[in-house]
Amino acid sequence: MTTLFEKLWMQHVVAELPGGAALIAIDRIFLHERTGSIALKSLRERGRMVVDPARVFCTMDHIVDTFPGRGDATRMPGGTAFIVETRAAARESGIHLFDVRDSDQGIVHVISPELGIVLPGTTVVCPDSHTCTQGAMGAFAWGIGSTEAEHALATGTLRVTRPRTMRIRFEGKLAPGVTAKDLSLAVISRWGSAGGNGYVVEYAGSAIRSLEIEARLTLCNMATEFSAVTGLIAPDDRTFEYLAGRRFAPKGERWDAAVAAWRKLRSDDDAQFDVEYRIDVDDLAPMITWGTSPQHAVEVTGAVPTLERSGATREAYERALAYMGLSAGTVLADLPIDAAFIGSCTNSRLSDLRRAAALLRGRKVARGVKAICVPGSMAVKRAAEAEGLHEVFTAAGFEWRESGCSMCFYAGGESFGRRQRVVSSTNRNFESRQGPETRTHIASPETVAASAIAGRIADPRRLAALH
Amino acid sequence: MEKFTKLRAVAAPLLRANIDTDAIIPSREMKAVSKTGLADGLFAGWRYRTIGGRDPNPDFVLNQPAYAGTRILLGGENFGCGSSREHAVWALFEFGIRAVVAPSFSPIFYGNCIRNGIVPVRLPADQIATIAAQVESDPPTQRVTVDLERSLVVAPDGSEHAFEIEPEAREMLLEGLDAIDLTLRSRAAIDAFLVRDRRLRPWIYELPRARTP
C-alpha cells in the first residue's frame, strides 16, 4: 500500500515532530554561488560548522561567465564577489567545489546525476528551485531557501511537513518530435501552474519507463513550475546503468548492495495517492508557451487562446498578451523571432544537443536571429565536441559557449534586449526573466532549432534531418 | 527571529496570480552576498519607471500615498512561485511586510517566510477579494488584522476569516524560534539515526574528502 515517496520518507525520519512534521535526514547538499554563498557566509558568522563536508557539494553555475576563456570576471555588476566569496567559504568549510575552471564544472542539476552525487533513495537539497530535476533518479530532491540550507549544513537534517502525494501516469508512446519537455508543458497547461501545489508528484506509466534518463531529468525539472514540492520517478535498470561507474557513485560490493536496495524503491501496486491523473501521450504534439506563465502553453501548431479557453484570469491574460505583444487568435507558428537559446538545467544535456544538431546539420540560422547554445556541463561540452556537434552548431550560426545557467535568467549582465522574441529551451517565461521586457517562448530544443532556422516559430516535425 | 503574534496594519492588494520571486526581487537587484540591502529592489520591475532606475511608477500600489506603511500584502494564487531565492522574503521583510495573504503559495517561498518571521496566510480567493474591496475604499483607515494566536484574519468590517497553518510553523513564528537551535536539541536522535543508517546504507557515507586546491 506504500508509495515510493512514503518509502523514501520513512527511510529518512530521524524523529517525529509535533503536528505531522518530521526531522528528515539529508544525504546530499548542493550549493551554488548565487544562493549557497550566503548560506555558507551566514553559517560562519553564527559560529556554526558544516557537520559532514564530504557530503556537501558546490558549483559555480548561476552567474559565472559562459564566454570562452572565462575567469572570475562576469558581465553582471558585482558578480565576481559571489564567485570569490563562494570559493573562499567552500575551501574554508572543506566541501567539494566545482570551480570555474574545474573539468567537472556545470549546472548543479546536470552535474549531480553526471557525477553520481544524487543516487536513488537519497535525500538531496539545494537552495535552488530546480532541485526537483534530480527526483528523476528516484531521489527525494527538493529546492529550499538559504536559511534551510544553513540548517541542513549545520545539522544534516531538515524539519519537514510531510507533503501529499500525486501520481501522473503517462500511457502510450510519444510521436517522433515530441519530447519530455512537451510532456512537462502539457501537464502544466492542463492542470495549471499551481496544479501540483504542495504535492510530491510521481511520474509513472509506460511512457516514463521508455524515457531515457536525460529525458526524465527534463520532465522532473519543471515540477517546480507546477508548484509541486518535487517530482519523482522510480529508479529502474536505465537508472542503474546510467549511474554505474560515475565518480561519486558506490563501487564494487557496495554498488551491488546499493542496487539491491534500490530495486525496492517503487510504489506498491496497491499504493494509494492523494490525487491521480492520467495522460495518454500518443496524440501529444510539441508544445510552446504564448504568455508569461508556463501554464500558458499550446501545441506549436496552435494559436493564442481566447480568454475563456486560456485558463487565466482576465487580468493575467490581458497583462500577458500586452507583455508578449500578441492577441487572441494569433497563430504561433510563423511569428518572427529575434533569438534562439538552447541551454539551462531543463535542456542542455548531450541528448538535447544531439537532437537539436540533427536538425541544424547542413542548415543555417535565419538572418538576423541571434542563436546561442550553452552546454549544461563541461563534460557535456567535451562529449559534444568529441562527436563534432560544436561544428554543427557553429556552422549553422549558433554561438558555442562554456557551461553554466547563462541566459536562462537575467542578472544584470547579458540579455536579449527589449521586446526581443526568444524561443528558448529553458523553464521560465516570466516577465523580464531573460532580460528587461524580453519575450520568452519556452519549447523543446528541437523546436528552438527549427525556429532558429526558419526565423520564426516552427514545428520541428516538418523539418526532417538532412543527413 | 522576530516574534509574530498579532498585527493590525495597512494592507495592499496585489491580486494577480503567479507573482514570482523574479518579480518580487529581480536577480539584477541581488548585488552582494548579503541578506540586507534588498528593500530598494523589492518589486523593482513594477515599482520604478525604468529598469535599474529609482523613479517611482505612480500606478504601482506600494507607491500610492494611501498605502504608506503597508505591512500586509494581499496576493493571488501561487504567490512566490519561481526561483527559490530567499532574497524575495528578505526584501519583503526589510520593506516592512510581516504577513502575506494569498490563496496558495509556492512551497519554497512559504517555507522561507516561516524562517524569517513573515506569516504566510492561506485564505480562499473570494475572501481575499472581499477584504481587498474593503481596504480599497480607504486604505489608511480600513486596516486588516492578522492574529496568529487565534489563526484569524480580521477584515476591516470586523468579519473574521479563520486560516490553517501547520502547528510547527505557527509555533516557530509565535516564539521567534531559531530552527537550528531547536533541531540541535534532537542531537541524540540524529546520532542514533546515523549509527543505524551507516549499517543499512553505507554507500551514502563513504565519500572521498574534498580535494584541496
8 Å CB contact between A452 and A336: no
pLDDT at A467: 53
pLDDT at A465: 66
Q: Is any Cβ of chain B less than 8 angstroms from the Cβ of A439?
A: no
Distance between A145 CA and the closest CA of chain B, angstroms? 5
Select from A119, A157, A193 the Cβ nearest to the Cβ of B78: A193
Q: Is any Cβ of chain A less than 8 angstroms from the Cβ of B191?
A: no
Q: Is any Cβ of chain B less than 8 angstroms from the Cβ of A461?
A: no
What is the share, in percent, of chain B residues with pLDDT greater than 70?
Answer: 99
Q: What is the pLDDT of residues B17-67, one digit of tens each?
A: 999 999 999 999 998 999 999 999 999 999 999 888 999 999 999 999 999
Average pLDDT over residues A448-461: 98
d(C-alpha B162, C-alpha A404), whole Å: 46
Q: What is the pLDDT of residues A192-216, one digit of tens each?
A: 999 999 999 999 999 999 999 999 9
Select from B116, B193, B203 the Cβ nearest to the Cβ of A254: B203
Average pLDDT over residues A100-127: 98
Q: What is the pLDDT of residues A231-289, one digit of tens each?
A: 999 999 999 999 999 999 999 999 999 999 999 999 999 999 999 999 999 999 999 99
SS (H, E, C) chain A: CCCHHHHHHHHHEEEECHHHEEEEECCEEEEECCCHHHHHHHHHHCCCCCCCHHHEEEECCCCCCCCCCCCCCCCCCCHHHHHHHHHHHHHHHCCEEECCCCCCCECHHHHHHHCCCCCCCCEEEECCHHHHHHHHHCCEEEECCHHHHHHHHHHCEEEEECCEEEEEEEECCCCCCCCHHHHHHHHHHHHCCCCCCCEEEEEECHHHHCCCHHHHHHHHHCCHHHCCCEEECCCCHHHHHHHCCCCCCCCHHHHHHHHHHHCCCCCCCCCCCCEEEEEECCCCCCEEECCCCCCCEEECCCECCCHHHHCCCHHHHHHHHHHHCCCCCCECCCCECCEEEECCCCCCCHHHHHHHHHHHCCCCCCCCCEEEECCCEHHHHHHHHHCCHHHHHHHHCEEECCCCCHHHCCCCCCCCCCCCEEEECCCCCCCCCCCCCCEEEECCHHHHHHHHHHCECCCHHHCCCCC
Match 559560529 to its residue by C-alpha cell.
Answer: A47
Q: How many helices (H) and strands (E) does chain B have?
A: 8, 8
**Res. B212 pLDDT band, cuts 50 70 90:** low
Select from B18, B35, B166 the Cβ nearest to the Cβ of A21: B166
Q: Is any Cβ of chain B less than 8 angstroms from the Cβ of A455?
A: no
> What residues in A contact B28, CB-CB < 8 Å?
76-77, 410-412
Task: For A418, name the nearest residue in chain B, comparing CA atoms only.
Answer: B51
pLDDT at A19: 81
Q: Which residue has the higher pLDDT, B41 or B210?
A: B41
Distance between B111 CA and the closest CA of chain A, angstroms? 8
> What residues in A contact B106, CB-CB < 8 Å?
129, 197, 224, 227
Q: How far is CA B59 from the centre of its chain?
A: 23
pLDDT surpasses 80 at B188: yes
pLDDT at A311: 86
pLDDT surpasses 70 at B213: no
d(C-alpha A84, C-alpha A130), whole Å: 24
Q: What is the pLDDT of residues B103-157, one digit of tens each?
A: 999 999 999 999 999 999 999 999 999 999 999 999 999 999 999 999 999 999 9
Average pLDDT over residues A348-358: 98
What is the value of pTM for the model shown?
A: 0.97
| Identity at B96, one-letter amino acid code | G
Q: Is any Cβ of chain B less than 8 angstroms from the Cβ of A325?
A: no
DSSP 8-state code for residue B49: S
